[in-house]
C-alpha cells in the first residue's frame, strides 16, 4: 500500500515524488476528451518559471497548439502521468526550489477555472490540497511506474486483479492504447509532457516497459497490491 502524506512535507530537488488528487466528493473531473486534453495542455504549458496566462493563450489558440510552444526553465520534470475520470497521478522531480508546489498550484487552479466556467459551477473541484508520496528506492519507483500506467485497466474491468492470468492480454491492449497516460510517450519514444532524462534509467526501452507491465498483469498476487486510493 502507498502511504500518502500531505505536501507540507519538504519536496526536495533531486528527489522523486508521486503526486495525486481526486475530485471533491469523488466527482468526475474529466467528463469528455476535450477536458482530458486541456488538463494535459496545462501540464505542459504551465511547467515553467516564466509567467504564462492560459486564458490569454486559449483566447486565440486551440488546445493542440500548446504542444508546439517552446518552454524554458521548467519547474518540474514529469516521469509518468495518468488521468482517470475522477483523479490523476503524476510522477515528478522538482527542478527548482518550490517547483512542485508552484506547478501544482498553477495546474489545479487553471484547470478548475476552466472546468467551472464550462460547467457553470463555483467552488473547489479537487478534494483539497494535492497529496504526495516520496519515492525512496528503485523497487518503489518501478512499482509506481506500473501503478500509474495500470490504472486504466479498471476502466475495462474493475475486477481485473481477480482474474486468471490467461485473461491479461485484453487488459494490456487497453492500457497500451489508453490516450490519457504517459505509456505511449514511452513506447513511441516521443516525450512531450514527460522527460525521462531526469529520472533513473530503470525502464526505458519499449521491450522492457511492455515486459514489466505484462508481469504485473499476469501476476495477480503482486497486482493485488496495486490498490488504488482513488
Tens digit of each residue's pLDDT (9 = 90 or more) over 27-66: 999 999 999 999 999 999 999 999 999 989 998 899 999 9
Residue 163: exposure state from Cβ atoms within 10 A (0-12, 13-18, ≥19):
middle
Using CA atoms, how far apart are residues 76 and 164, in angstroms rounded to an integer? Answer: 39
Read off the pTM. 0.89
The confidence score (pLDDT) of residue 101 equals 96
Sheet holding 131-135, edge to edge: 5-6, 131-135, 16-22, 87-94, 76-84
- pLDDT, residue 160, reads 81
Contact by Cβ (8 Å): 5, 20: no
Domain boundaries along the sequence of the chain: 13-133, 137-190+199-223
**Angle at 50 (CA atoms; ends 48, 53), nearest 5 degrees:** 95
Contact 54/165 with Cβ under 8 angstroms? no
Residue 158 DSSP label: T
Confidence band of 3 (pLDDT split at 50, 70, 90): very low
Which of 2-16, 47-61, 105-119 is least confident? Answer: 2-16
Please state, for a pLDDT cut of 90, what percent of the chain lies above it: 62
Higher pLDDT, 219 or 96: 96
Residue with cell 495477480: 220
CA distances for 5 relative to 2, 8, 29, angstroms: 10, 8, 22
Residue pair 103/46 in contact (Cβ under 8 Å)? The answer is yes
The Cα-based distances of 22 to 1, 98, 109, 129, 150 in angstroms read 18, 22, 14, 10, 17
What CATH code would you report for 13-133? 3.30.70.1290
**Mean pLDDT on 105-111:** 97
C-alpha cell of residue 17: 515524488
Amino acid at each position: 500500500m502507498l502511504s500518502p502524506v500531505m505536501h507540507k512535507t519538504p519536496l526536495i530537488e533531486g528527489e522523486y515524488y508521486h503526486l495525486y488528487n481526486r475530485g471533491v466528493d469523488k466527482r468526475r473531473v474529466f467528463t469528455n476528451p476535450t477536458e482530458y486534453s486541456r488538463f494535459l495542455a496545462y501540464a505542459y504549458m504551465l511547467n515553467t518559471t516564466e509567467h504564462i496566462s492560459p486564458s490569454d493563450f486559449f483566447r486565440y489558440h486551440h488546445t493542440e497548439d500548446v504542444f508546439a510552444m517552446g518552454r524554458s526553465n521548467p519547474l518540474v520534470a514529469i516521469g509518468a502521468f495518468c488521468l482517470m475520470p475522477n483523479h490523476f497521478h503524476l510522477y515528478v522531480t522538482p527542478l527548482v526550489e518550490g517547483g512542485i508546489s508552484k506547478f501544482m498550484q498553477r495546474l489545479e487552479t487553471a484547470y478548475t477555472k476552466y472546468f467551472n466556467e464550462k460547467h457553470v459551477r463555483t467552488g473547489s473541484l479537487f478534494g483539497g490540497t494535492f497529496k504526495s508520496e516520496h519515492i525512496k528506492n528503485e523497487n518503489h519507483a518501478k512499482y509506481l511506474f506500473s501503478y500509474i500506467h495500470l490504472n486504466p485497466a479498471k476502466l475495462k474491468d474493475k475486477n481485473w486483479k481477480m482474474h486468471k492470468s490467461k485473461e491479461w492480454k485484453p487488459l494490456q491492449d487497453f492500457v497500451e492504447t489508453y490516450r490519457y497516460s504517459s505509456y505511449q510517450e514511452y513506447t513511441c519514444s516521443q516525450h512531450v509532457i514527460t522527460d525521462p532524462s531526469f529520472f533513473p534509467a530503470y525502464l526505458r526501452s519499449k521491450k522492457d516497459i511492455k515486459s514489466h507491465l505484462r508481469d504485473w498483469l499476469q501476476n495477480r498476487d503482486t497486482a493485488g497490491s496495486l490498490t488504488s486510493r482513488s
